[in-house]
A and B are shown apart, each in its own frame.
Chain A
Amino acid sequence: MVTWRMRGRWLEALLLAVALLPLFLGTALLAVTWERALGDARFWPAYAVATAVGVVHLALVIGGHRGDEVVLPAVACLAGIGIVLVTRLVPDAALRQSAWLALGAIAALVVACGPWDTRRLERFKYAVLVAGIGLVAVTLVAGRDLNGSGDRLWLGLFGYVFQPSELLKVLLVVFLAGYLSEKREVILVAPARVGGLPVPPLAYLVPVVAMWGGCLVVLVVQRDLGSALLFYGTFLAMLYVAIGRVHYVLASLAVFGMAAVACYFLFAHVRLRVEVWLDPWIDPQGRSYQIVQAMYSMASGGLAGRGLANGYPLYVPAAHTDYPFVAFAEEAGLVGSLALLLMYAILVVAGLGVALRARDPYRQLLATGVVALIGFQVVTIIGGNVRLMPLTGVTLPFVSYGGSSMLASWLMVGLLLRASHEEAVAAARA
């Protein structure tokens, strides 16, 4: 049995050293396969990512951070694999990706170590809600369609484009944690009876109806199936953790299920997604081209994969944003892609550990929400990639190419680290 008793930031340093091995070995493999020197400019983004993660760790040490030790290494390992994959798929975009990662890492660091308190977020939860609604409204009015899909999901700002739904996820978790931790006593205990019928408390009905309606707006007006699923799933997970009553959660799930079925019949774009999922062969050269190519791509990977930079994952359109898991599966095989899944599992378990240790209801729900969001997102996108469920346009956290997603994911990591730090400080004081 392992008897080492490493703790705190030293444990994080050790884990981080191991976590960055795939980044360096992957880069070396690319260098040998492409017959380029390790110092080639093409690989600088990968080294930049390693540096950024190292800087975050050092800053946590200097800042006297006492939060969880596994979260950062898990994220570092995923980000390392991500930058190797982006370098391999779209070498010209890797620099931009590493810049977004550095920005995200700084944001996470500010959240994790800054002179503030999560209680402030708890207090200003309605301001957070208003900000989120404002963001949706602005996107509805001024949203831009970047990928020609007809969905206006992007916002332009100072020459940069941003996907507001990514930031919205973070705001939603922050708000729901505050709302549910405040109202959970009121939601609980026997429902009031009106005319003999049990009526669930208003504190339960209002958010359920609001979330349901909000997700429908996102789904119907913005046609963003993935985000709608993600928002509602995260809401249900947090509701369950807050009140622990299965039937409330099942009821909320049922109304959402009915709405989803209605959408299938009412909206052509939802129907199309489901149809090409059930039978990709109806139009393999057209509407389901991407799905069919992805199936071939993953199949050619087999058990051990074709080796990085040795397969043909680029036959899948938009592999670096929509199908990163398939690209990784083709080149690293079942062996590699299972390891990737395990790493997300490690991140989720580490986050749940933070929630378990938390003694404060708000921080507990915050950690739970962050973990639920990341977990659902991974399941949604990988499930879509491997055709377990219809493909939706969400990103694979820390791996997919995309700045908004990278920034939002790091912000959530920052919140997780912050919550666990405050818990550790509070526990030491008690």
Chain B
Amino acid sequence: MTALAGTEAMILALRVGFAASLYLFVAVAIIALRQSLATASPVVRIAPARLLLVRAGSVGDEAGRAVTLAGPSVTIGRSPTNDIVVRDDGVSARHARLESHGDRWVLADVGSRNGTRLNGRAVNGPAPLSHGDEIGLGELLWRFEIATATGAKR
């Protein structure tokens, strides 16, 4: 009788202990996760890059103007609402856009009259940029430069 009761009590204790141990793990794991997630700040990463004006037009900026790309999206055009404002008759009011995707920049024409050229070829869809690429808008020619690039691609 007492032996049976002892077994019953043991089973009850183990059942409670089993359930408690499940939640004990859940609790400590959540504390640990909270700690590790606090260090994981989901920042928007923007690859440090700039545009260098290598060929100027007849009016406006002179060659050598450098613009740091402070993404995630940078627009170029004649209108003052653009992030990069240029004065060239061949450039549309809203001409092109550069977008940061992770560690890469992508160039797209946003419906310009005269089109955008990448290394001499017309840009139709979104075009990923590499260090040293030349972007032509109207008479202007910009060179895309990645700040950390050492010339060689990773």
Contact call A346/B99, Cβ cutoff below 8 A: no
Is B102 in the interface zone, CB < 8 Å from A?
yes
Q: Which A-chain residue is minimally distant from B101 (CB atoms)?
A: A185
Within the complex, the shortest CB–CB distance from B97 to chain A, in Å, comes to: 8
> How many angstroms from the CA of A81 to the CA of B19 in the assembled complex?
11
Contact call A25/B17, Cβ cutoff below 8 A: yes
Contact call B36/A343, Cβ cutoff below 8 A: no
Interface pick from A42-50, A313-321, A354-362, A385-393: A354-362
Is B70 in the interface zone, CB < 8 Å from A?
no
Query: For A22, what are the chain B residues with a Cβ–Cβ distance below 8 Å?
Result: 18, 21-22, 25
Which one of A336, A346, A356 contacts B40 once the chains associate, using CB atoms below 8 Å? Answer: A356
Contact call B37/A188, Cβ cutoff below 8 A: no
Which one of A184, A308, A310 contacts B18 once the chains associate, using CB atoms below 8 Å? Answer: A308
7 tightest A-B contacts by CB?
A189-B126, A339-B22, A21-B21, A29-B14, A357-B40, A25-B18, A356-B40
Contact call A19/B25, Cβ cutoff below 8 A: yes
Q: Is the interface of B mostly helix, strand, loop or mixed?
A: helix
Is A350 in the interface zone, CB < 8 Å from B?
yes
Within the complex, the shortest CB–CB distance from A394 to chain B, in Å, comes to: 23
Contact call A15/B7, Cβ cutoff below 8 A: no
Interface pick from B58-66, B103-111, B139-147: B103-111
Query: For A201, what are the chain B residues with a Cβ–Cβ distance below 8 Å?
Result: 125
* B98-142 residues at the A interface, CB under 8 angstroms: 99, 101-104, 106, 108, 110, 124-126, 128
Is A266 in the interface zone, CB < 8 Å from B?
no
> How many angstroms from the CA of A33 to the CA of B8 in the assembled complex?
9
Query: For B67, what are the chain A residues with a Cβ–Cβ distance below 8 Å?
Result: none
Contact call A349/B106, Cβ cutoff below 8 A: no
Is A402 in the interface zone, CB < 8 Å from B?
no
Within the complex, the shortest CB–CB distance from B69 to chain A, in Å, comes to: 15
B interface list, Cβ under 8 A from A = 7, 10-11, 14-15, 17-19, 21-26, 28-33, 35-37, 39-40, 42, 45, 99, 101-104, 106, 108, 110, 124-126, 128
> How many angstroms from the CA of A304 to the CA of B20 in the assembled complex?
12
Contact call A73/B17, Cβ cutoff below 8 A: no
Within the complex, the shortest CB–CB distance from B148 to chain A, in Å, comes to: 10
Q: Is the interface of A mostly helix, strand, loop or mixed?
A: helix
A–B Cβ pairs within 8 angstroms, 10 of them: A15-B25, A18-B24, A185-B104, A304-B15, A336-B22, A350-B29, A353-B33, A353-B36, A353-B40, A361-B102
Contact call A346/B29, Cβ cutoff below 8 A: yes
> How many angstroms from the CA of A73 to the CA of B27 in the assembled complex?
13
Which one of B26, B30, B126 contacts A186 once the chains associate, using CB atoms below 8 Å? Answer: B126
> How many angstroms from the CA of A255 to the CA of B101 in the assembled complex?
28
Contact call A33/B11, Cβ cutoff below 8 A: yes
Contact call A192/B125, Cβ cutoff below 8 A: yes
Contact call B33/A29, Cβ cutoff below 8 A: no
Which one of B7, B10, B36, B108 contacts A70 once the chains associate, using CB atoms below 8 Å? Answer: B36
Q: Which B-chain residue is minimally distant from A339 (CB atoms)?
A: B22
Q: Which A-chain residue is minimally distant from B124 (CB atoms)?
A: A192
Is A251 in the interface zone, CB < 8 Å from B?
no
Query: For A335, what are the chain B residues with a Cβ–Cβ distance below 8 Å?
Result: 19
* A310-367 residues at the B interface, CB under 8 angstroms: 310, 332-333, 335-336, 339-340, 342-343, 346, 349-350, 353, 356-357, 359, 361
Is A207 in the interface zone, CB < 8 Å from B?
no
Q: A305-B15, A342-B26 are in contact. List 14 more A-B contacts (CB 8 A).
A: A18-B25, A21-B24, A69-B32, A73-B29, A185-B106, A188-B126, A189-B126, A307-B11, A339-B26, A346-B26, A346-B29, A349-B37, A350-B33, A353-B33
